[in-house]
Structure 1
Amino acid sequence: MANNASARKRIRQTEKRTERNRMRRSRVRTFLRKVELAIAGGDKEQAAAAFQSAQPEMQTAVTKGVLHRNTVARKMSRLSARIKALNTASA
């Protein structure tokens, strides 16, 4: 247990930061789930729109240190390729 004021303050700060990061991560997952559902539905326009709204959320998570930049780059690349594949499959 914390024995001085500065240690107690660090515990409070860590709890706040953890909660904020949990909310950010959850928000990113929600946006990704919307993209996944649109891809599964086979609707390219809806998938592209969901992907467009998910990108800023993912980049914000990188900026805030919640996710690593390479992780987000990989996820965006794979999602983009899957959306692109929807176009060729339906055409």
Structure 2
Amino acid sequence: MANSPQAKKRARQNERRYAVNKARRSRIRTFLRKVEEAIATGDQAAATAALRLAQPELMRGVTKGVVHKNTAARKMSRLSARVKALGA
């Protein structure tokens, strides 16, 4: 357990950051799930709209340090390829 004042403050800050990051990660996953569901229904218009809403959320996660840049790029690339394939 933290003994020094700095360590106690650090523990408080870590708890707060953990809660914020957890919420942000959950929000990103929700947006990605909406894209997945739209793809599953086969509706390209809905999937495209969901993807457009998901991209800024995912990139915000990158800037906040919740998701790695390459991970976000990979997810966007794969989702957009699947959405594009719906039209073909």
Q: TM-score, normalised by structure 1?
A: 0.96
CA distance in 2 between counterparts of 1:3 and 1:46 reads 53
CA distance in 1 between counterparts of 2:21 and 2:6 reads 22
| Residue 30 of structure 2 is aligned to residue 30 of structure 1 | yes
Gaps of 5+ in 1: none
Percent identity over paired residues:
64
Question: 1:71 corresponds to which residue?
Answer: 71
Shift of 1:4: 1.1
CA RMSD of aligned residues (A): 0.4
The aligned length equals 88
| Residue 3 of structure 2 is aligned to residue 6 of structure 1 | no
Gaps of 5+ in 2: none
Regions of 4+ moved over 4 Å:
none
Counterpart of 2:62 in 1: which secondary structure?
Answer: helix
Question: 2:48 corresponds to which residue?
Answer: 48
Q: TM-score, normalised by structure 2?
A: 0.99
Question: 1:84 corresponds to which residue?
Answer: 84
CA distance in 2 between counterparts of 1:63 and 1:20 reads 14
CA distance in 1 between counterparts of 2:32 and 2:58 reads 9
